[in-house]
């Protein structure tokens, strides 16, 4: 009879083993649910990180756009300087201080320095006026704070015996941090 009846130690081992299996299974289920919760949190954090990157790009673009010079340009004849025509520039954007300007595809005369007048800047240079019926094109480059380069085309022509300056939109050309 002792061969067919279980030993109390075997019964105790069986009960303890069953309880251990249940606890292990319950622990496994809890770990899997926690992993799913962590995966959800990681996905949420990834989404937040991508949105922050998008916002950073938008803010960087706005920052660069805030540096865009806002220029008033006029053309006047200066009879005290031999009757030469001068292009006068006034930058009204206090956020985008011009540190340097270049003019290309044009051989001009006298060039002034950039004058800082409080919140505004001014500079000028002389031009040879185009003949009536002709158009003079000047390509301007404005370097802002030595980091951003903007370009603009200026068309100068006669209209009803008056010299007209028609500036095109100023465009960001190069963002260079090593100038």
> pLDDT, tens digit, for every residue of 40-59?
888 888 999 899 999 999 99
Q: Taking the domains of the chain in order of start, what are their residue ranges? A: 1-66, 69-175
149 contacts 173 by C-beta, under 8 angstroms: yes
* Helices and strands counted in the chain (H then E): 1, 9
Q: How far apart are CA 170 and CA 150, in angstroms?
A: 6
- pLDDT digit string, tens, across residues 84-116: 788 889 998 888 888 888 777 555 555 667 888
β-bridge pairing 135-144 and 120-127: unpaired
107 contacts 121 by C-beta, under 8 angstroms: no
Report helix, strand or coil for 102.
strand
């Amino acid at each position: 009879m002792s061969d067919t009846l279980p030993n109390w130690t075997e019964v105790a081992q069986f009960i303890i083993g069953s309880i251990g299996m249940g606890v292990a299974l319950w622990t496994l289920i809890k770990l899997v649910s926690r992993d799913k919760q962590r995966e959800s949190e990681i996905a949420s954090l990834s989404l937040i990180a991508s949105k922050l990157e998008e916002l950073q790009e938008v803010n960087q673009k706005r920052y660069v756009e805030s540096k865009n010079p806002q220029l008033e340009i006029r053309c006047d004849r200066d009879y005290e300087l031999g009757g030469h025509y001068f292009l006068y520039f006034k930058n009204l954007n206090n956020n985008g201080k011009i540190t340097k300007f270049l003019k290309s595809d044009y051989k001009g005369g006298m060039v002034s320095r950039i004058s800082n007048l409080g919140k505004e800047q001014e500079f000028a240079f002389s031009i040879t006026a185009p003949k009536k019926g002709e158009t003079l094109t000047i390509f301007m480059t404005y370097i802002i704070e030595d980091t951003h380069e903007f370009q603009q085309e200026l068309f100068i022509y006669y209209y009803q015996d008056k010299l007209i300056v028609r500036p095109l939109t100023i465009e960001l050309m190069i963002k260079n941090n090593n100038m």
